Copies of this chain bind each other. A is one copy, B any other.
Amino acid sequence: MTSDGASTRRGSPPPRGRPGGTLAAVAAAVGVSRTTVSNAYNRPDQLSKDLRDRIMAAAEQLGYAGPDPVARSLRTRQADAVGLLFNESLGYAFRDPGAVEFMHGLGEACSERGRSLLVIPAPPGARHAETVLRAAVDGFIISSLSEPDENIAAVLSRPQPAVIVDAPLGLPGVDFVGIDDRAGFAMVAEHVLALGHRQIGVISIRRGEDLAAEPEPRPLSERMAAGRIQHPVRHQRLLGLLGAAEARSVSLDGIWVTERPYNSREEGVAGAQALLAARPTLTAIICITDLLAFGVIDELVHRGVSVPEQITVTGFDDVPASESYGLTTVRQPLEEKGRRAIETLLDDRPRASAKRVMLPTSLTVRASSGPVR
């Protein structure tokens, strides 16, 4: 396991770095009490300017950079930091433009409130509960994890508040910020169906386990029936598609789905290849994310297949690059999701029950979708 370094903590390993005095030392040097030095830093208006200057001078000379953050936190019971539990390894998270937008919102909202963001990677399967339990934060953002997760359990066991973003769904008593993935995805699906498409390929994502065992495209109905453990967000989106088809009484027989291990442009390429090989007659490819759709478009262009004349392509998220790609997709306010998450987490007003913030989605029709021919 990886998180072992932390538990191997015995003896008193003198931490590296310069010594750095203490508040008490400064007080002694100036000949005042600790209170006064503390005031010099925290309530400058409580001292004469002259005394304050003398204290700061002494501090500087002693190499004292100000109150120790940890000690201060212990005393004030505020860590001035927010923990972010992410569903991916850090590096992977940063590669996903949707995640990036979201984190941007988080980051800005934190800055505005003088909080830092403590990023805690929680890739599926990794045992980082230790890390979660050791995080000095005022609260946690849990971002689109699947439910049975030891990290979530760890977060919820802690006394600090938490807000869940996107998933898991419906954890009782925990604040939630997200979108209606099902309704949102139903919008693109309906759009594609309305254009007359009946032979449709779907590219979704599935992580972990025995993925290699069944990478081949298969009918959507079969896939849904299999009901394997699936990420809630993905699952909701597929349900939206299903609902749209049912609403129109469209047969599910023409809808096939392939599942890829990552959300990346490359997997979009591979997904398109797999789909086209298995179902050469399809007229539309619906992707569960924009990134996958980019890969699909790349592949189709590469093959000389015109979009949307020959094949319609759609995404989901509306990340910044989607506009230049002319991608038909569903917009969700990613950045705002981040902001609202922080806002909700740090909102001190007492509440009767868990808060539930649902952000709007909207269909954005661009050049990548057109009527079937």
Chain A positions near chain B (C-beta within 8 angstroms)? 2-7, 9-10, 12-13, 15-20, 42-43, 63, 65-66, 68-74, 76-81, 83, 89-92, 94-95, 97, 99-101, 103-108, 110-121, 126, 128, 130-131, 133-136, 138-139, 154, 157-161, 335, 347-348, 350
Contact = CB atoms under 8 A, between A and B. Distances in A.
B89 A108 contact: yes
Contacts of A154: 65
A12 to B, nearest CB: 8
Contacts of A116: 83, 118-120, 131, 134-135
Contacts of A136: 69-70, 73, 79, 81, 136
Copies of this subunit: 2
The 6 closest A-B pairs by CB, nearest first: A91-B104, A90-B107, A20-B159, A6-B114, A94-B100, A5-B114
A246 B20 CA distance: 48
Contact of A133 (B4, B66, B77, B120): B66
Contact of A19 (B68, B71, B159, B161): B159
A272 B116 CA distance: 38
A119 B119 contact: yes
17 contacts: A9-B42, A15-B78, A16-B139, A16-B160, A16-B348, A17-B160, A18-B159, A66-B157, A69-B133, A70-B70, A80-B131, A81-B118, A89-B104, A90-B103, A90-B104, A90-B108, A111-B126
Given A90-B110, A116-B120, 4 more contacts: A16-B139, A16-B348, A16-B350, A94-B99
B15 A160 contact: yes
Contacts of A65: 133, 154, 157-159
A125 B113 CA distance: 17
Given A69-B136, A159-B19, A105 B118 contact: no
Contacts of A99: 94
Given A63-B159, A74-B74, A89-B104, A134 B13 contact: no
A78 B8 CA distance: 12
